[in-house]
Structure 1
Amino acid sequence: MKTLTILKTTITLLFFQQTAFSQETKKETTPPQYTIENCVNHFDLDKATKTKVGYQYWFGDKNFTHENTLKMSIVEPGKSTHAPHHHPEEEFFYILEGSASFFLDGKTVVVGPNTSLYCPPNAEHGISNAGNTNLKYLVIKKDLR
């Protein structure tokens, strides 16, 4: 009888812990209250994150938006943010300034400003700075939650 009581108590505690964890998880994924103040985001280099190859600045990340993210990357000449890779999300790059070398499934092309680059889901892709000035581009990606 004592073992049964301990078992019931343990199950009850686990249920309450799971319920509390579930509620905490829901609170963490609840998007913020959207206002004109937090929906307008001006680039500020002082708020950008320094990387090994330049900077990145999140205009909208997965904690702010419902499905999409928007990031600006600034990459120094001759460098790239990472090696070619793939992921299940589709992705767009939009070149703002500089010259980009775009790799997609074994082929490479060099492009300049006002060019969009599309990466289908699971395609191997990469982007690097092919010029002698900073490369500045936007990354638009759907968040698969």
Structure 2
Amino acid sequence: MKLSTTIKVAIAALITQTIQSQQQNKETSHAEIKYTIENCVNHFDLDKATKTKVGYQYWFADKNFTQENTLKMSIVEPGKSTHAPHHHVEEEFFYILEGTAQFYLDGKTVVAGPNTSFYCPSNMEHGISNVGKTDLKYLVIKKDLR
């Protein structure tokens, strides 16, 4: 019995130490960033976009720069999607800028165009695909849960 309790205490201490270390690393990495008007304004630049299998993506704000949130623009070619329906712990917002999107959420779909937002709660299966004849351009806003 005593050995089992000792092991549980040791595991709990290790987990606590790991969590504290991760929190300190997060605070340190953001403390090192000096936020200025120059690095807080991000103009889209195709040369800095990342090519994907179905188009490209551009990070306006990623987890290495922001405190909690990320902002990405995805461009998807007609008839394609960035990935199969999936789920993750972070909630997500999608905002359609151009094109026609099909949004999948928990077994149902809806088709919508520009100036439409889609919300995906935590751990719900979701996906987005281009069902139009032109490129689909949308923003993805997600909270970073490092």
Quick check: TM above 0.5? yes
Mapped partners of 1:33, 1:116: distance in 2: 32
RMSD: 1.9
Q: CA deviation at 1:44?
A: 0.7
Q: Which runs of 5+ in 2 are unaligned?
A: 1-20
Return 5+ residue gaps in structure 1 as ranges: 1-21
User: Cα 1:31–1:97, aligned 2, differ >3 Å: closer, same or farther?
Assistant: farther
SS in 2 for 1:37: helix
Q: State the TM-score, normalized to the length of structure 2.
A: 0.80
Kindly provide the CA deviation profile for residues 84-105 of structure 1, in whole angstroms up to 9, marking residues without a partner as x: 0000000000000000000000
What is the deviation of 1:30? 4.3
- The answer to whether the Cα contact below 8 Å between 2:30 and 2:67 also exists between their aligned partners in 1 is no
Partner of 2:45: 44
Asked if 1:53 corresponds to 2:54, the answer is: yes
Equivalent residues of 1:31, 1:66 under 8 A apart: no
* Matched residue type, 1:129: N
- Could you report, residue by residue, the CA deviation over 1:11-67 in whole angstroms, capped at 9, with x for unpaired residues? xxxxxxxxxxx6x94654645110000000000111100000000000000000000
Given the alignment of the two structures, is residue 119 of structure 1 paired with residue 129 of structure 2, yes or no?
A: no
1:17 aligned residue: none
Structure 1 consecutive aligned stretches of length 4 or more whose deviation exceeds 4 Å: 24-31
Between stretches 26-35 and 70-79, larger displacement belongs to 26-35
1:70 aligned residue: 71
Q: Which has the larger radius of gyration?
A: 1
Check conservation: 1:31, 1:64, Cα contact below 8 A: no
Structure 2 residue identity aligned to 1:89: E
